Structure 1
Amino acid sequence: MSCRLPSSLRLALAASAVVLAACAPDSVRNFQAKDFNAYLDSLKTACPNMVMGSSNISEWLRTSGDSDDSNYVYWLDQTSRLYYQRISVKEYRNSTSAALGGRSDAPALDCIVRNLPANRSTQLPGGRL
């Protein structure tokens, strides 16, 4: 028994999938981000004891986080935005500290910012803006 969808419905479903993929946070599309992933790996050594509020960022980096943890997903997305220069350091500090319950001048944020590569890309992997 075959179920055939009308072509207009198939087109609408395909368009919806494209729109949803484009709106996915950077943390979801992170698998293509080799330079960003290398930066995150470097933080494991450079910043071994990062804690913001009740969130242990260093533990997230050691265990690749938990995609069901909204704080982890938010931190990863904001850190990606900072890395790709889509938000300023000040915006990163303010948004991350507000979300994780820390201070915008927290040592964890200082270390993350201090270790940003100077020549990092402004282009997201896969050609997305």
Structure 2
Amino acid sequence: MPDTTSRWRLLQAAAAASIAMALAACAPDSVRNIEAKGFNAYLDSLKTACPNMVIGNNNISQWLADNGNSGDDDYVYWLDQTSRLYYKRISPAQYRTSVSGALGAGKRDAGAIDCIIRHLPADRPTSPPGGKLL
């Protein structure tokens, strides 16, 4: 029978795996849906429209430069909220509150969030192609 330390480590590993699966299941349609060309183009436009974006300790510009190759929970949350904003599921005010509340709040953050909101396409859709937004 494993000792207490080993059982604790197994429990931690199981909890981490469960959290990772839950986050993957909650990933925005932009992550799961390769047809989300409009949203992906919007994210690409932010690379030049909003250089040097930082929210809290998170370098959004670096995430975008890496094309989302980050397993960071903050990245997943930011992408989910940005997807919801893009698809008109949340308002710009709700986006500002949720992102700054979760990732950081400060003058520098406000500039990044302002830029993200300012560059939203006016004619964006209300749902991703071929899928529903969670």
Task: Indicate the TM-score class for this superposition, using the shorter chain for normalisation.
Answer: 0.7 to 0.9
Normalised by the length of structure 2, the TM-score is 0.73
Residue 70 of structure 1 corresponds to 73
The number of residue pairs the alignment matches comes to 108
Work out whether 1:110 is the aligned partner of 2:107.
no
Residues 55 and 71, structure 1, Cα contact 8 Å, conserved in 2: yes
Residues 33 and 131, structure 2, Cα contact 8 Å, conserved in 1: no
Cα distance in structure 2, aligned partners of 1:100 and 1:73: 11
Q: Which runs of 4+ in 1 moved over 3 A?
A: none
Listed as ranges, the gaps of 5+ residues in structure 1 are 1-19
Residue 85 of structure 1 corresponds to 88
Pick the structure with greater CA Rg. Answer: 1
The alpha-carbon distance between structure 1 residues 125 and 24, as it changes in their structure 2 partners (threshold 3 A), is farther
Residues 47 and 108, structure 1, Cα contact 8 Å, conserved in 2: yes
Residue 18 of structure 2 corresponds to none
The alpha-carbon distance between structure 1 residues 86 and 52, as it changes in their structure 2 partners (threshold 3 A), is same
Residue 27 of structure 2 corresponds to 25
Normalised by the length of structure 1, the TM-score is 0.76
Residues 35 and 130, structure 2, Cα contact 8 Å, conserved in 1: yes
Percent same amino acid at aligned positions?
65
Structure 2 letter corresponding to 1:84: Y
The alpha-carbon distance between structure 1 residues 46 and 70, as it changes in their structure 2 partners (threshold 3 A), is same
Q: Which has the higher contact order (CA 8 A, sep 6+)?
A: 2
Equivalent in 103, 111, 125 of residue 121 of structure 1: 125
Shift of 1:30: 4.2
